[in-house]
Amino acid sequence: METSYQKLIKGNKSYAESRLSQDPDFFKNLAKGQKPDYLWIGCSDSRVPANEITNTQSGEIFVHRNIANLVVHTDTNLLSVLEYAVKYLKVKHIMVVGHYGCGGVQTAMTNIYHGYVDNWLRNIKDVYHDNSQELDAITDLTERANRLTELNVIEQVRNLAKTTIVQRAWAERELHLHGWVYGLADGLIKDLSVIHDSSENIDPIYRYTHVKPLSDDIIKL
Ligand code: CO
């Protein structure tokens, strides 16, 4: 009897066949290397797959996903992905992509204990705390969660701008940071228009001077 996981292997076979039928060199070309223009920092939610919802192909988006699309300055996974994407892949745009109906955001709005994950979601509670006047004034809980989702994305974009990695990229080239929210109910991305392309619009305490360009690190063998 076929178990449910075998559905994925079957699906993969038909995926590979359909790509090859359109372009016999599709995988041969992909295997040569990647040159994506975008780094996507999104939620792990199964309903928000980066390529599928943007109609893009393999090779176009470098992806990092975690619960509630957070940019935490001690997260070595995120920082490694970010450095690699910016320094070596030289992506031109980084988008933090939240989504309405995010379980992480909704949970962070409650006081119910869930375990280890509460320490991760604490970052969203901080966003709530910083915007509590605005959020408490929204009586509808879904609307309040939606606004917190947007504020969380804006804060994570700011967190990206505060990293030495992004500021080192800005020391030598253009790099654009964007904040987006995806609607599960309509399939559409809302651009929050919180573009950062220099450290000028972040609080001065987070701006570094004498920043060495990232390319200084690249060892030429
Ligand atoms: Co989510």
Summarize pLDDT for 111-140 with one digit per residue, the tens: 999 999 999 999 999 999 999 999 999 999
- Residue of 16, 45, 36, 31 lying closest to 84 (CA atoms): 36
Mean residue pLDDT across the chain: 95
Structural domains of the chain in order of their starting residue, each with its CATH number? 1-33 (no CATH), 34-217 (3.40.1050.10)
Helix (H, G, I), strand (E, B) or coil at 176: strand
Contact by Cβ (8 Å): 16, 58: no
- pLDDT bin (cut points 50, 70, 90) of residue 9 is very high
Taking the C-alpha atoms of residue 197 and residue 213, their distance in angstroms, rounded to an integer, is: 15
pLDDT bin (cut points 50, 70, 90) of residue 19 is very high
Whether 129 is catalytic is no
Q: How far is CA 158 from CA 32, 95, 97, in A?
A: 35, 12, 13
Q: How confident is the model at residue 21 (pLDDT cuts 50, 70, 90)?
A: very high
Q: Which residues have C-beta under 5 Å from ligand 1, the single-atom ion? A: 43, 45, 102, 104
Task: Give 104 Cα–ligand 1 centroid separation in angstroms.
Answer: 6
Indicate if 45 belongs to the active site. Answer: yes
207 is catalytic: no
For 48, the token pair is 């928000």
Q: Give 46 Cα–ligand 1 centroid separation in angstroms.
A: 9
pLDDT at position 80 over 90: yes
Quote the CA–CA distance of 111 and 132 in Å, as a whole number. Answer: 15
Confidence of residue 1 (pLDDT cuts 50, 70, 90): low
Write the pLDDT tens digit of every residue in 150-191: 999 999 999 999 999 999 999 999 999 999 999 999 999 999
Mean pLDDT (whole number) for 70-99: 97
Count Cα atoms within 13 angstroms, Cβ side, for 130.
Answer: 11
- Sorted by sequence, the CB contacts under 8 Å of residue 199 that are 6+ apart come out as 161, 167, 170, 206, 207, 208
Catalytic residue among 23, 25, 47, 114: 47
Q: How far away, in angstroms, is 36 Cα from ligand 1 center?
A: 24
Kindly give the distance from the C-alpha atom of residue 105 to the centroid of ligand 1, in angstroms, as a whole number.
7
Specify whether 47 is catalytic: yes
Q: Which of 25, 37, 43, 118 is catalytic?
A: 43
